[in-house]
Structure 1
């Protein structure tokens, strides 16, 4: 598995030491504000190449692989939000990134939120794509690339993926196989490759648990956009109550989107993102 996704000319990629481990990254460069992406569980930075391409003309986009994912190290220690936030802040230091917009999906949203609370003066703005908010009636992500309820047996599944071909991963995850048959075949192959690169240590993400955003949101000082999956009105109302804790925040439920908001409803999600970015 030495192959790497193609990236446009002028972009860079490599590894840096951050928080005592090696993190792999890909960077678009350019003169625009830095926009740093923290992916969700079982994905890697290259799973967000489409977002990077979308924003590359206006932002210096940085994609990176979280600990235990992709081409980054898999240390024999905790994988909780505090450790992942320290990784992210270390990455910013190593790449001399100042005043970034921090974007995170699901597990990555926890990472970004924890980093924004730990170092409130660092982010220019925060974007959270379907953070996992434990509310009555909906206590786990709604499918897609991540399922927070899969802790049991996950190590065995990861071991199976490590020895699998991309085609076997498609068979293992039917939705990925369907995606591969669509116009998003390249994305499906990048997601499958990310699955094959997972290390067993990532199961410690579940051991560490999730952030309680009812408490965390009140400590995020940066302007914040929350893009949530579509949901029935009762769930939306409970999620609005959590978002109300943000000092400078906006919550948008993206119609027809599941847990992977940008993959499910890319045009709508991108429009909301760009509208927000124009204000920060």
Structure 2
């Protein structure tokens, strides 16, 4: 089982899915900007935050099954899944394998790690240290937030992040091995977001993703980087709400 939290009322549900080496708290600001209109459900994916310890496995089929259970427990009349980074792939895989459970998907800078041109430095750096999960987790975090910010984190926080190396390596290896979803099977509307100041491969990935999917639209979040849902929650929420209204 995974830890979940919900806010807001109503029959329509928005589920927020966090990325690698993150937790649902990273999407709390976005949740607070959506829960006046929707019942917003956040959850810590297996192996992260309050869903630890977890013995795995950490591949995409198990991630999708967790998300499926979260949605079924919420019993929504209408469900939109918003996924940040790796979480976007979980949302798209759910739309592929369980299209009856989701009405629309929003992704924010989701990695396309199985493509030969993908150049994600955080994931590549982590996989180089795959024999030492704790060291791999630290490499991943240093690549994402920088050495200076990593060193400023409290020792307990650094230890907690290093303890999440196993789930991170499991999901990253699985994502590199094969596509987790087929574009032609993702038939729900999809909003593909990316940050104006994100890394070039994330922008290219968002553009490629929007081109691949049958019913997708692409939007840039001004001034944002990879953690736009946390740093620019108002802009992201506005785009999500417009998309939901247009897809309704």
1:209 corresponds to 2:175: yes
**Contact 2:195/2:225 (CA < 8 Å) preserved in 1?**
yes
For 2:240 and 2:73, the matched residues in 1 are separated by 27
User: Which ranges of structure 2 fall in alignment gaps of 5 or more residues?
Assistant: 139-144
For 1:24 and 1:254, the matched residues in 2 are separated by 29
1:140 corresponds to 2:120: yes
Selected match of 1:256 from 223, 229, 233: 223
Selected match of 2:134 from 156, 159, 176: 156
| Per-residue CA distance 1:27-60 (angstroms, 9 max, x = gap) | 0041151000110111111221111111111010
Displacement after TM superposition at 1:106 (Å): 1.1
Aligned to 1:129: 108
Selected match of 2:6 from 22, 27, 30: 27
Superposition pairs for residues 66-77 of structure 1, below 5 Å?
A: 66-77=45-56
Displacement after TM superposition at 1:212 (Å): 3.4
Whichever of the two has the greater Rg, that structure is 1
Q: Which has more helix, going by share of residues?
A: 2
Relative contact order higher in (CA < 8 Å, ≥ 6 apart): 2
Selected match of 1:84 from 35, 49, 63: 63
For 1:173 and 1:39, the matched residues in 2 are separated by 22
**Contact 1:35/1:62 (CA < 8 Å) preserved in 2?**
yes
Displacement after TM superposition at 1:107 (Å): 1.2
Selected match of 2:32 from 27, 31, 53: 53
| Per-residue CA distance 1:165-221 (angstroms, 9 max, x = gap) | xxxxxx98533678x9xxxxxxx9xx87973773634421122124637x6333211
Displacement after TM superposition at 1:265 (Å): 3.5
For 1:236 and 1:199, the matched residues in 2 are separated by 26
**Contact 1:158/1:198 (CA < 8 Å) preserved in 2?**
no
For 2:108 and 2:151, the matched residues in 1 are separated by 24
For 1:195 and 1:46, the matched residues in 2 are separated by 14
For 1:273 and 1:192, the matched residues in 2 are separated by 32
Count of residue correspondences: 235
Aligned to 2:89: 110
TM-score, normalization by structure 2: 0.78
| Per-residue CA distance 1:115-146 (angstroms, 9 max, x = gap) | 110011211210111111356775217xxxxx
Aligned to 1:229: 195
**Contact 1:33/1:100 (CA < 8 Å) preserved in 2?**
yes
**Contact 1:98/1:122 (CA < 8 Å) preserved in 2?**
no
Selected match of 1:174 from 148, 173, 190: 148
1:265 corresponds to 2:243: no
User: Which ranges of structure 1 fall in alignment gaps of 5 or more residues?
Assistant: 1-21, 142-146, 161-170, 181-187
TM-score, normalization by structure 1: 0.70
Structure 1 pair 34–239 and aligned structure 2 pair: CA distance change class (3 A):
closer
Structure 1 pair 85–234 and aligned structure 2 pair: CA distance change class (3 A):
closer
